């Protein structure tokens, strides 16, 4: 990658403009570029041909009615969802996950835009705010991050939206204990490399777009930096981000998707990159998760091209570079998992069981990782699972179920990444031996047929069994709020 001295100086000046001890809001928010005009923008939205890469920034079609429910379930699943026709507004849907009212739609809260390709969803440390990211919001030049008020979990409300100045293509999210979020943006402001690690304050204003130090900026400019996976170890003082793919390479014209091969190990206190830990020929490192209770503060990362799970030891020193962070192969999922486009994971809070989705293999791998020197696979390749296109997964707060959404990415005619899906949310029992029992699901195309179906990508689960002590997963282990 070659930059002129003037261009490089400008980039460094922009990246280091604000002192680290003086938080500066670096977010912008713009309304749709084309205003809503009844009878005019509806046919425009329906009939306009796709533009090369960018899409026509039309407002969403008028809202369609739905019937809410006033039941008060103990368990609620919030699903960040795209309208099936890509023309109605994208939305947050909440459903009952209780046994007796399972699948009852509680509320639907729309955002002001459509075509965002809703991606990951996370909850704040106090359980009052959800952050939701739009993977392809950039293509309609609209806001990328969306915030919802869930202080009353039965009455979610849309708060605001924003975008970062230096980055786009939002991905994973982890809550900060003192309020606010970290989240990854996989691409630059135009969808190329480098992306950024984004940080908000407790009022959900973007205050930093890391890295901001000169060595860090030079590092991400000199190599592929496409952070997707995110883990924050508040006990040991580390942040992990994983380099997945350069976003623009999934859009036409493309010579093929360009995957990353590294996990970046950051110092939490200074927000600087300590090391780029390499996974040889990884083919896209999509996900990184901390292992709860691990004495070395280790994390696991998914190498999509290899179909493998690797473990990162942050306190071990690389004998070649002398830097902290060593990667070792933990488990090979086998031929069925090779080059499966997406591999995502979740680990039980006791650090014993790990569940891994392989999207285009239509399979959920089930591993016993209680002994890292002897990982045991609990499922088999011969097992035919009632699932199509599994991707995002969360373990419920009571550790009794796994929620999986059967949808990854469909870029349509403008891209080369279109994964088969059945667009359902699976609610799967975890048996005593760690194996999974598939028995319930929510059919989103059926529930939302009046907007061309629906594409649920991610979920957050609230357990309100004890109303005074609600439980939810903030994405941070160990030391999680």
Q: How confident is the model at residue 10 (pLDDT cuts 50, 70, 90)?
A: very low
Judged against a pLDDT cut of 80, whether residue 22 lies above it is answered with no
Residues 6+ apart with CB under 8 A from 361: 336, 337, 340
Under 8 Å between Cβ of 329 and 308: yes
19 vs 59: which has the higher pLDDT? 59
For the stretch 199-252, pLDDT in tens is: 999 999 999 999 999 999 988 988 899 999 999 999 999 999 999 999 999 988
Which residues are within 8 A (CB) of 174 and not within 5 positions of it... i.e. 6 or more apart? Answer: 122, 181, 182, 183, 230, 231, 232, 474, 475, 476
The CA distance from 32 to 60, in Å, is 9
Q: In this structure, are residues 473 and 460 in contact, taking their beta carbons and an 8 Å threshold?
A: yes
Rounded Cα–Cα distance for residues 112 and 119 (Å): 16
Place 27 in a pLDDT band, splitting at 50, 70 and 90: low
| Domain annotation covers residue 477 | no
CATH number, domain containing residue 101: 2.130.10.10
Query: At residue 40, does pLDDT exceed 70?
Result: no
In a domain, 176, yes or no: yes
> What is the tens place of the pLDDT at every residue in 369-413?
999 999 999 999 999 999 999 999 999 999 999 999 999 999 988
38 in a structural domain: yes
* Residue 140 belongs to a domain: yes
Residue 471 lies in a domain: no
pTM, rounded to two decimals:
0.90
Residue 380 domain flag: yes
- Inter-residue contact 407 to 456 (CB < 8 Å): yes
What lies within 8 Å, CB to CB, of 20 at 6+ separation is 208, 212, 271
DSSP string across 151-186: SSTTS-EEEEEEEESSEEEEEEEEE-TTS-EEEEEE
Q: Is residue 100 part of a domain?
A: yes
> Per the domain annotation, does 480 fall within a domain?
no
Number of independent structural domains in the chain: 1
Q: Which domain holds residue 278?
A: 28-463
């Amino acid at each position: 990658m070659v930059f002129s001295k003037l261009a490089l100086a400008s980039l460094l000046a922009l990246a280091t403009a604000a002192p680290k001890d003086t938080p500066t809001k670096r977010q912008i928010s713009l309304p749709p570029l084309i205003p809503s005009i009844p009878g005019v923008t509806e046919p425009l939205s329906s009939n306009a041909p796709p533009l090369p890469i960018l899409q026509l920034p039309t407002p969403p079609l008028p809202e369609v009615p739905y019937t809410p429910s006033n039941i008060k379930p103990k368990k609620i699943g919030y699903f960040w969802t795209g309208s099936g026709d890509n023309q109605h507004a994208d939305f947050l849907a909440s459903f009952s996950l209780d046994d007796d009212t399972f699948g009852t739609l509680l509320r639907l809260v729309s955002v002001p835009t459509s075509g965002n390709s809703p991606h990951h969803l996370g909850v704040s440390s106090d359980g009052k705010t959800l952050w939701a990211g739009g993977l392809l919001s950039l293509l309609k030049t609209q806001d990328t991050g969306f915030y919802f008020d869930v202080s009353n979990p039965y009455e979610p409300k849309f708060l605001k939206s924003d975008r970062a100045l230096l980055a786009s293509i939002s991905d994973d999210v982890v809550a900060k204990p003192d309020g606010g979020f970290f989240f990854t943006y996989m691409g630059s402001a135009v969808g190329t490399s480098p992306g950024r690690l984004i940080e908000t304050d407790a009022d959900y204003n973007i205050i930093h777009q890391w890295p901001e130090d000169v060595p860090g900026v030079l590092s991400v400019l000199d190599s592929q930096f496409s952070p997707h996976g995110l883990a924050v170890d508040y006990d040991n003082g580390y942040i992990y981000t994983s380099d997945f793919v350069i976003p623009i390479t999934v859009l036409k014209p493309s010579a093929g998707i360009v995957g990353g091969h590294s996990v970046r190990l950051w110092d939490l206190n200074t927000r600087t990159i300590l090391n780029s830990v390499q996974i040889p020929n990884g083919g896209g490192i999509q996900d990184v998760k901390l292992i709860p209770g691990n004495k070395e503060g280790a994390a696991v990362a998914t190498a999509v091209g290899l179909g493998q799970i690797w473990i990162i030891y942050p306190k071990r020193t690389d004998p070649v570079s002398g830097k902290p962070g060593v990667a070792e192969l933990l488990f090979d999922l086998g031929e069925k998992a090779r080059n499966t486009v997406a591999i995502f994971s979740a680990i039980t809070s006791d650090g014993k069981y790990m569940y891994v989705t392989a999207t285009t293999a239509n399979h959920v791998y089930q591993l016993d990782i209680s002994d890292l020197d002897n990982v045991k696979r609990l499922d088999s390749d011969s097992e035919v699972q009632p699932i199509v296109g599994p991707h995002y997964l969360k373990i419920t707060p009571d550790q009794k179920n796994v929620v999986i959404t059967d949808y990854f990415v469909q870029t349509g005619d403008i891209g080369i990444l279109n994964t088969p899906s059945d667009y359902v949310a699976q609610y799967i029992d975890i048996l005593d031996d760690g194996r999974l029992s598939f028995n319930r699901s929510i059919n989103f195309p059926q529930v939302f047929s009046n907007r061309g179906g629906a594409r649920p990508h991610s979920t957050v689960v609230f357990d309100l069994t004890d109303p005074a002590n609600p439980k939810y997963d903030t994405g941070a282990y160990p030391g999680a709020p």
